[in-house]
Every structure is written in C-alpha cells, then in structure tokens.
Amino acid sequence: MTFASKYGPWALVAGASDGVGAAFALGLAERGVNVVLLARRQGVLNRVAAEIESRTSAQTRTVAIDLARPDAAAAVAHATGDVEIGCLVYCAGADPDFKPFLANPIEAAEAMVQRNCMVPMQLCHHFAPAMVERGRGGIVIFGSGAGLAGGPNMVAYGASKAFDMVFAEALWAELHDQGVDVLGLILGKTDTPALRQLEHSRGQLGSPDDVPSGATAVDDVIAEAFENLAHGPTWMVGADLRAATQMMGSLTRNQLVRLMAQASAAAMGADHPE
C-alpha cells in the first residue's frame, strides 16, 4: 500500500499555519495526500497553501477556526464533510503564556483544555469510525515533555499534554490492529515561530530571527515523525528528550516534579523556588 492510499486522499492538519504543523502538511502533500490546513490566521494559511500547491501536486483547503471555541469540533466536521479524511494531525497548540496558574483567569485554563483535550478527543471520535471501516488511516497527536511531570508556569498546559499522550496511547491500543495508526508525538524544545516569540518576549532571545538555544529543528522533528508514523503508540522526538525520559524513569514522581520546578525557574531566569 502506498503512503497516499494508506493515509489519503485527504489529511486534516490542525495547527498548520506555521512551524511543525505547516511542515507536516507539506510532508503529507509531498507524499501525495491532499491537505486541509486549519489554524486561526487565514492570511498565513493562504500563504502555506500557496507554497504547498506550488511545490507539490496535492490539493489544499484552508479553514480558519479557533480550536478553543466550544463549537470548534462541529465547525471542523462541517468544513470537512465533503472530503474523505484518512489522516488527522493535531498539532495545535503550545502555551504562549508560561505564567503561574493563579495569574490568569480560569477561562485561560478552560480554553487550554478545550483546545488541547476536548477538541482532539471529539475529532478522533468523529473521524476514526470511517478509518476503522476502511481498515486504514492515521492519527497523530502532539504531546510535550511538559506532559511527563507537573511543573510551574504550565499547570493546565502540562496536564493537557499528559492527557494527549495517554489518550493517544489508549486509542492506539484500540485501533492499531484495525489498520489505523495512532501516534502520540512527544516534542522537546523545538525551534518554532511560537517558541521564538515566547523566548523573545521573555528577553531570552535577542531577536525572533535567532534560534533558541538547544531547540530541535522543525525538519528533524518532521523526519522522525514520518519515520515513526506506524510505530506508535508514542514517539519521543530527539536524542535529548529520549535521554531525559530514560533518566526520569529512575526518579520518583516527587523528585521529578522538583526537577521540573528547577528547570522552570532556570527557564524564567529566576532563583531556585525552594
């Protein structure tokens, strides 16, 4: 079976306007799969679509939806009702804030859970039955090292990413022997526009044109993702994250959380919190 006959004819990439999502969409198009590109910024989506169409023979469609909206999943279902989605890639989203839980109104955490947990779960429930019926398809859900243990300044974010990882693992357990590949793609620090913006706003990066120190390149993430699409349930991206995960296995949960607190304090340029 070719890549396109396994994962096509269309893929939906949620979070496709820049960084890893846009690169993932291009990678799918290069492999012969048409792509629905979804994010909030219509103008940026148009540019990504034009680039994909100029570099590949795949078709594209752009859909501007805020995935934090309560009706987002229904809006996505409506926007894709006339195409056969053989692959769902849920890349949105990171946390542009990195603030203490109590520094924001509860609505910020609720929106995070809506975008990172509710909507991917609803979209899997919407798209997976047809994949199972066809006996083929793929689902990729982005996780984060922040989901491996709780840490300050990413309370709801880290918890949402833990949900995503366990959700993908469990869905893999139910679907992989029915022909549907499910992969929880866990990223460490990655050189995306969102990360550059965050580090620049915190004064850690002189210019948004600089590469954040220690960040994995988007192309390397995408190469590992395509290599491991069928090797779920979980893939830790990058040698650094794989080494860190191995080291974490030797710690107790309490030690791990203290370590996350230290790392967070270092990232904020603050003194150790204890």
Q: By the criterion CB under 6 A, which residues form the site for ligand NAP?
A: 15-21, 39-41, 44, 66-68, 91-94, 115, 142, 144-145, 187, 189-190, 192, 194-195
Nearest approach, Cβ of residue 274 and ligand NAP (Å)? 25
Parallel, antiparallel or unpaired: strands 60-64 and 85-90: unpaired
| Residue number with CB closer to ligand NAP (20 or 52) | 20
Q: Which of 143, 127, 141, 138 is nearest to 245 (CA)?
A: 143
Nearest approach, Cβ of residue 66 and ligand NAP (Å)? 5
Mind telling me the catalytic residues? Answer: 157, 161
**CA pair distance 156, 107, nearest whole angstrom:** 11
Nearest approach, Cβ of residue 271 and ligand NAP (Å)? 24
| Residue number with CB closer to ligand NAP (41 or 231) | 41
| Residue number with CB closer to ligand NAP (68 or 128) | 68
Contacts of 178 (CB under 8 A, 6+ apart): 132, 135
Q: Which of 97, 88, 103, 95 is nearest to 145 (CA)?
A: 95
Sign of the four-CA dihedral 127, 133, 136, 142: positive
| Residue number with CB closer to ligand NAP (6 or 144) | 144
Nearest approach, Cβ of residue 168 and ligand NAP (Å)? 12
| Residue number with CB closer to ligand NAP (17 or 56) | 17
**CA pair distance 13, 222, nearest whole angstrom:** 13
Nearest approach, Cβ of residue 91 and ligand NAP (Å)? 5
